[in-house]
Structure formats: C-alpha cells, structure tokens
Amino acid sequence: MLNFSANLGFLWPDLPLPERIRAAANAGFRAVELHWPYDTPAGDLRRCLDETGVTLLGINTPVGNPENGDFGLGAQPGREEEFRDTFRQTLDYARDAGASAIHVMAGLARPEARAAARQTLINNLVHAAAAAPDMTLLLEPINQRDNPGYFYSTIAEAAEIIETTGASNIKLMFDCYHVGVTGGPDAVVPRLEEYLDHIGHIQIAAVKSRAEPDEGDLDYKTVFSALNRLGYEGWIGCEYRPRGDTAAGLGWVKALEVDL
C-alpha cells in the first residue's frame, strides 16, 4: 500500500494553515508536508496536528531574501553563518511542531562559482546532519525550466553530494515532476530504480503542467506500480497546483486506483 501526504504549500491555498490541515484530514490524508510555515507558531501547529491525528512530515529551510534572488542558502559561499543560524531556527521549529524531515534548500549558483558552491553545500550539510541526528535532511533537485540556476537539477548530482557527506540522515527528495521535466517522463521509473536506497521522500505532480497527477505526459499508474514492485514504504507527497478547487481535484485518487 502506498502512503500519500498532502503538500499544504499548494493544496487548499485559500485557507489559513490550521484550516488546511483540517481540510486535508477531512479529505482522508493521514500526513501533511509544508513549505515555510513559520508565520504560524509551532505550538499552534502541533495542537492542530494532535487534534486531527495528522502526522507532519517535513518543512523547508528558509530561502533567504527573495527580493535579492535568493532561493535557498545551503550552497551560498560566504553566507555559512547565515545558513547555520537559519538552520538552527528551522530545526527548533521542526522539533516543536513534530516534523521528522527538513528540506535543505541549496539555492542558486552561477556557473563560474559552482565548485565553491558545492564545497559550501557539503560543509553546511555535514554541520546540519550532525546538529540534527533526529531528523532526515532532504535534498531536492529542481528543474532549470522553472528555477534557472538552481544548484542541482538531476538526481545524480544530489546523490553524489549525499555520498560525499557520508551522513546517513541525508536523503533524496525525489520529485517525479522535476525529474520528468529535466530528463523526460521516461526517466522517472529508471531513476527510481537506480536511486531507491538514497530516497527519503517522493513527490508527485503532472508533467509538465504541475497540476493533478491524472493528466500530462507521465503515467502515474506505471510509477505507482513500480513503487509497489520496489517495495517503497515511505510517503508520497502530493505537491501539485490544483486546476481549481482542491477537494474537487482529488478525483485523481480514484482515477489512478490508489487510496489515501
């Protein structure tokens, strides 16, 4: 049986965060994942999770200053202290809210600065992994079409970084949407097979619209069949942008013959 979580960065966007959690619970989701929940006190978030019986999986590290083009601080040479300060804040929030994973956002890197960015990221990850032995740290390759210049866009790049750190609590966030946009839909299942042991979390959305997974070029029935065959027991995050009303869009669950 596959396990699906609601990504509340995209689902029920018109509701306050506590109400999004309740909506997800009412829809049948047993777990949620968040992007940047920091405007909601961690204690309030945890109380809502306890009331609904929903599990919080993970949150993202802050992006930095988006007005200056920041989209993560992990691979930013010269900003190591800023990364470590914000990671500590993220870790404290995650622990207080009851999360078990943190997506460490690498950020953008200019081509001529990639070597320095890579070493900075490795150093920051080693520090973060040691500071958070109770957390799974996730690295997510993000496609260049949507986010030009993001430090890594392929599973192979992120897996190599993980192996270099030597930290057992750093895993891949395998977003089928990003993998499908970067390498084409036919690349998704082979990459799942190749990197299964590195994967700590999976996400889904239609390729290439990022809408519900019952449309587009990637056949999710094939993906789900592969995950069952591979014995994947982790969570699958529904990180898609609904075509319209979130609840109405959940018809994909029946269409793809799965259960929440």
Question: Is beta strand 235-238 parallel, antiparallel or unpaired with respect to 58-60?
Answer: unpaired
Query: Residue 241 has what DSSP assignment?
Result: -
Q: Which two tokens stand for residue 230?
A: 């591979």
257 part of the active site: no
Which of 51, 140, 215, 233 is catalytic? The answer is 140
**How far apart are alpha carbons 179 and 103 in whole angstroms?**
17
Which of 51, 80, 239, 257 is catalytic? The answer is 239
Using CA atoms, how far residue 232 sits from 17, 54, 93, 150, 227, in Å, is 29, 21, 28, 28, 5
Tally of CA atoms within 13 A in the half-sphere of 40 that contains its CB: 23
Sheet holding 170-175, edge to edge: 55-56, 31-33, 3-7, 235-238, 199-204, 170-175, 136-139, 101-103, 58-60
80 part of the active site: no
Phi, psi of 158 (to 5 degrees): -65, -40
Question: Is beta strand 101-103 parallel, antiparallel or unpaired with respect to 235-238?
Answer: unpaired
Residue 98 identity (one-letter amino acid):
G
Which residues are the active-site residues?
Answer: 140, 239
